Amino acid sequence: MRRRISFWIFPVSVVFLIFLAACMHGQRDSASWAVLSPATAVNGMVATQESLATQVGVQILKQGGNAVDAAVAVGFALAVTLPQAGNLGGGGFMMVHDAKSGKQVAIDYRETAPASAVKDMYLDANGNVVEERSRFSALSAGVPGTVAGLSLALERYGTLTLKKALAPAIRLAEEGIVVTEALTTSLEKHRETLIRWPETAKIFFKADGSSYAPNEVLRQKDLAKSLRKIAEEGPAAFYNGSIGEKLAADMRQQGGWITREDLRNYRVKIREPVRGTYRGHEIVSMPPPSSGGIHLIQILNILESENIQVLGAASPDTLHLMAESMKLAYADRSLHLGDPEFWKVPMRGLISKTYARKLGQLIDKKRATPAEAIKPHNPVPYESRETTHFSVMDRYGNAVSNTYTLNFSYGSGIVAAGTGILLNNEMDDFSAKPGVPNAYGLIGGQANAIEPGKRPLSSMSPTIVFRNKKPFLVTGSPGGSRIITTTLQIILNVIDHEMSLADATHAARIHHQWLPDRLEVEPGFAPETLKKLKNRGHRVELTEPFGSTQSILKIEGRFYGASDPRRKGALALGH
Ligand code: DON
């Protein structure tokens, strides 16, 4: 019987989809999207990198929770189910659209440099950067912000108690998760980083050092205890209680500089998002200490004067214009961007349409300008390697776009003894020495130099796009320096190229970050296109697929979710 039903489902759904497509032909807003998006729903939608976490979020929406409730529960759950990026020992950014007030806020829970941090802390006696120190040692960790950030989001914009929001994560850590193929592969890939630290090895590998195979159960007892403590005592358990004590003790032992004082002094910042417009849509994204929102809007501003809709997606002309705009933006990033509390970022200048027009005039339509011929510019004067993204929309009109990270997969690899909490290596996002690239090849100078209490510059770009003043597209991605360009391409694919959210997500991507001077292209472009780009002077390099967007689109009361197929295990699910 079951076979008979499934035998019929396929042809019936194809006929239905063709019918739907035919009915809606010409209705741009719903036609192709309705047919092609892999997840659709009317009450709400959750898209995350890990399917158990997605289900946690959907369950909360089903019980009447709002998007922030779901997002916070997802954030805690991912710390258990996606240990390479979900975290308690890292930091991130959450963009919230609050339907009641009609306003958006950017919650900045980025890590900070400890009070004892100094500018040259990663240089050796000869003044050379010691990557080992900024990436894989206890010194690489910034003061974590996640617990404070998620708790604050819940308190201000959620409806659940912290206890309720933490319950699914506690259960997953205590009872264990069924290991997926994606997790086995990830742990194997990062074995070297993890087994250096006995406390970490003990959690993520078996006693004999062997790996967890798919379908085996991974329990995280210490992490469960930490989560329980937070549920009972609130974020103070982490910042001014037993967890913080353990963390600081571990730091002392491993040579890290984070103290109890640093933890006590950690503050989440509620920031005004950075705003721009693109072809009638409003773009609301993350302000500094992320570079993401500013450069996303800057690139969109440059491209707005070009008719890329007519030039077409993936055409040499469109790709050329995109690459040249990216270079100009990333050059500016190297000079102008840093923590706004320590550096005056010329934000309004960088996102102004006038400045974009000026930059646009520098683009040679036929030739790639070599990176060395591009310098950071002066914006028109105006007064004044694992991360994870998730998106949630609910039936009440709220939307959450959240990107958070440990920086690399599993961060520094260090678990503070007794806590089960992996610590970030976000300090590598600072510019350890002017002109010396960080792990993502990004360079910077004074604006992003290390200073006590400062937040390292980020590229994370949780974004909400509004159409007719209503949340239309919620998106974001991991990918280090490529986060900005990945998010950009989802927006261009949806707005300019009118792709379904699924197609927008799947479409091959490009990336240029000024330095190194290379145009990275994912597999999937026509050889002829790549040849034309090379002929224009682009140093085209084929790369592994990058980014992992988790996006939701809302059109005419219906939610469309799409998880990036580039990484295993993700799920967009609605109800
Ligand atoms: O904040 C940033 O820009 C980086 N720490 C993000 C790292 C990242 O996305 C790695 N993921 N693949």
- Domain boundaries defined on the chain: 14-270+388-448, 276-386+460-554
Per the model's pLDDT, the better-predicted residue between 170 and 385 turns out to be 170
474: three-class secondary structure by DSSP? strand
Question: How far apart (Å, rounded) are the C-alpha atoms in residues 78 and 88?
Answer: 9
Cα 402 to chain center, whole Å?
Answer: 7
212 DSSP assignment:
P
pLDDT at 20: 36
Q: How far is the CA of 460 from the centre of ligand 1 (A)?
A: 7
The per-residue pLDDT for range 324-382, each reduced to its tens digit, is 999 999 999 999 999 999 999 999 999 999 999 999 999 999 999 999 999 999 887 65
Q: Is the pLDDT of residue 11 over 80?
A: no
- Ligand 1 centroid–CA 426 distance in Å is 8
> What percent of the chain is predicted at pLDDT more than 90?
92
Please list every protein residue whose CB sits less than 6 Å from any atom of ligand 1. 385-387, 405, 407, 426, 429, 458-460, 478-480, 483
Q: What is the whole-number distance in angstroms between the Cα of residue 176 and the centre of ligand 1?
A: 27
| 515-563 tens-digit pLDDT | 999 999 999 999 999 999 999 999 999 999 999 999 999 999 999 999 9
Q: How many CA atoms lie within 13 A of 472 on its CB side?
A: 19
The residue type of 400 is: V
Q: Which residues contact 153 (CB under 8 A, 6 or more apart)?
A: 68, 71, 72, 94, 96, 107
Distance of alpha carbon 171 from alpha carbon 53, whole angstroms: 12
* Residue keyed to tokens 């910077």: 444
User: How is 135-166 classified by DSSP, letter by letter?
Assistant: HHSGGGPPBP-HHHHHHHHHHHH--S-HHHHH
Asked if residue 530 lies in contact with residue 510, where contact means CB atoms within 8 angstroms, the answer is: no
By most ligand atoms within 8 Å of CB, the mutation choice from 286, 385, 388 for ligand 1 is 385
Spatial distance between the Cα atoms of 519 and 517, rounded to a whole number of angstroms:
7
- The verdict on pTM exceeding 0.85 is yes
Closest ligand 1 atom to 428 CA: 5
At 436-449, the pLDDT tens digits run 999 999 999 999 99
From residue 47, give the alpha-carbon distance in Å to each of 78, 343, 463, 549. 12, 35, 14, 9
Residue nearest to atom 1 of ligand 1 (CA): 458
**Confidence band of 478 (pLDDT split at 50, 70, 90):** very high
Residue whose CA is closest, atom 4 of ligand 1? 480
Cα Rg for the chain, rounded, in angstroms? 23
CA 526–ligand 1 middle distance (angstroms): 29
| Placement of tokens 């991507």 in the chain | 509
Q: How far apart are CA 87 and CA 68, in angstroms?
A: 17
The residues annotated as belonging to the active site are 387
The backbone torsions φ and ψ at residue 99, rounded to the nearest 5 degrees and listed phi first, read -65, -35
- For residue 412, the Cα-to-chain-centroid distance in whole angstroms is 18
Give the confidence band of 236 by pLDDT, cuts at 50, 70, 90.
very high
Candidate of 407, 457, 566 to mutate for ligand 1, largest count of ligand atoms within 8 Å of Cβ: 407
**CA–CA separation, 104 vs 153, rounded Å?**
12
Give the ranges where 101-216 is alpha helix by DSSP (H): 131-136, 146-157, 162-175, 181-189, 191-195, 198-204
Distance of CA 419 to the CA centre of its chain: 25
Measure the CA dihedral 495/498/479/562, to 10°.
120
In this prediction, residue 382 carries a pLDDT of 55
CA–CA separation, 184 vs 216, rounded Å? 10
Number of other residues whose CB lies within 10 A of the CB of residue 294: 30
What three-state secondary structure class fits 105?
strand
Answer whether residue 434 shows pLDDT above 70. Answer: yes
Mean pLDDT of the chain: 93
- CA atoms in the 13 A half-sphere facing the CB of 443: 14
Phi and psi, residue 563, nearest 5°: -100, 145
**Are the CB atoms for 45 and 393 separated by under 8 Å?**
yes
Report the length, in residues, of the chain. 575
Kindly report the protein residue whose alpha carbon is nearest to atom 8 of ligand 1.
480
- Rounded to the nearest 10 degrees, the angle between the axes of helix 51-62 and helix 67-81 is 150
CA distances (Å), origin 423, targets 84, 98, 99, 256, 413 = 11, 31, 34, 11, 7
- Measured N-to-C along each axis, helices 483-495 and 292-304 cross at an angle, to the nearest 10 degrees, of 40
Q: Phi/psi at 42 (nearest 5 deg)?
A: -110, -20
Q: Which tokens sit at 534?
A: 């090379």
Strands 91-98 and 217-218: unpaired
Average pLDDT over residues 155-165: 98
Predicted local confidence at residue 15, as pLDDT: 36
Instruction: Write down the CATH number for the domain with range 276-386+460-554.
Output: 1.10.246.130
Handedness of CA 42, 281, 497, 388 (dihedral sign): negative
pLDDT over 70, % of the chain: 93
From the CA of 387, how far away is ligand 1's center (Å)? 5
Digit-coded pLDDT (tens) for 275-309: 999 999 999 999 999 999 999 999 999 999 999 99
Q: Provide the H-helix boundaries in 398-508.
A: 483-495, 501-506
* DSSP 3-state of 401: strand
Q: What pLDDT does residue 381 have?
A: 61
